[in-house]
Amino acid sequence: MILTCPSCDTRYSVDAAKFPAAGRNVRCAKCGHSWHQAGEAPEQGQEPQAAAPPSAAVHFPAGPETPAVADFASETPSQDSSAARGFGPAPAEEKPRAPLAPRIAVVAGWIGLIAVVLGIGFAAVQYRQDIAAIWPQSAGVYSSLGLHVNVTGLEFHQVSYRRETEDGQVVLAVSGQIVNASPRELPVPQTVRVTLSDGENHELYHWTFKPNAQVVSPGQSVKFMTRLASPPAAARHLEVRFAKDGS
């Protein structure tokens, strides 16, 4: 029995015994067209064959006029394109990618944290004088990091000395300035200590004096002058600092 596809005219040689008299639905393996193919009329005295189950598939061997592969299915083609064509499995579904928004949020969070840490570090260095004035214990931390911190906010500038002779006696004159390096007005400690030491930094003598100012404005300075009669001849070093409790 020869079947011809009404759509593409592809011809198939099939066994007529597989077709009942009522016929069955077939599909062209080349173009996918489906149609109802009637069976051959049975000969006289021959009982018609029972129809094949509707779910059975029919595979026709290739004849001299058929393509290398010819596959007809009795079921009506489904709406799925891969089933209608009859060509292998449907393509694998593409795995969904992870949302981009959460990853951007994580990166932005790390950038924000780094910016906050850098900002805190900059402020701690830039305003170390104010921090040390409020929290004097922090001066040790800054010193360990090699950062100079003046806890009081007052500094001694242009400290110098000279030896003079008055009435045949040597007098040591020490002068300088007390400068307010902070951004606010500060009281001036009323006891300043001057220490003389020898070449091995052993203290030889010290004395104290009182500055001639009570307060000093931001960025302003107060001059001072103090004198010592008959200083030690072995004195090689001089130190000026604020004293606590007159020490």
Both structure tokens of 190: 């009323």
> pLDDT tens for residues 206-230?
999 999 889 999 889 999 999 999 9
What amino acid occupies position 69? V
The closest of 175, 170, 173, 162 to 233, measured between CA atoms, is: 170
236 pLDDT above the threshold of 60: yes
* pLDDT value, residue 3: 78
- Is the pLDDT higher at 43 or at 232? 232
| Angle CA 96–98–101, to nearest 5 | 135
* pLDDT value, residue 209: 93
Contact 188, 153 (CB under 8 A): no
- Is the pLDDT higher at 53 or at 138? 138
Quick one: pLDDT band at residue 98, thresholds 50, 70, 90?
A: low
Mean pLDDT lowest among 6-10, 93-97, 179-183, 238-242: 93-97
pTM of the full structure: 0.43
Percent with pLDDT over 90 in the chain: 26
Contact 241, 215 (CB under 8 A): no
* pLDDT value, residue 68: 33
* pLDDT value, residue 94: 60
- In this prediction, residues 171-190 reach a mean pLDDT of 90
- Find all residues with CB under 8 Å of 108, minimum gap 6, and list them: none
3-class DSSP string for the chain: CEEECCCCCCEEECCHHHCCCCCEEEECCCCCCEEEECCCCCCCCCCCCCCCCCCCEEECCCCCCCCCCCEEECCCCCCCHHHHHCCCCCCCCCCCCCCHHHHHHHHHHHHHHHHHHHHHHHHHHHCHHHHHHHCCCHHHHHHHCCCCCCCCCEEEEEEEEEEEEECCEEEEEEEEEEEECCCCCEECCCCEEEEEECCCCCEEEEEEECCCCCEECCCCEEEEEEEEECCCCCCCEEEEEECCCCC
State the chain's mean pLDDT as an integer. 75
CATH of 154-242, one of 2.60.120.10, 2.60.40.10, 3.40.309.10, 3.30.70.260: 2.60.40.10
* pLDDT value, residue 24: 80
* pLDDT value, residue 86: 40
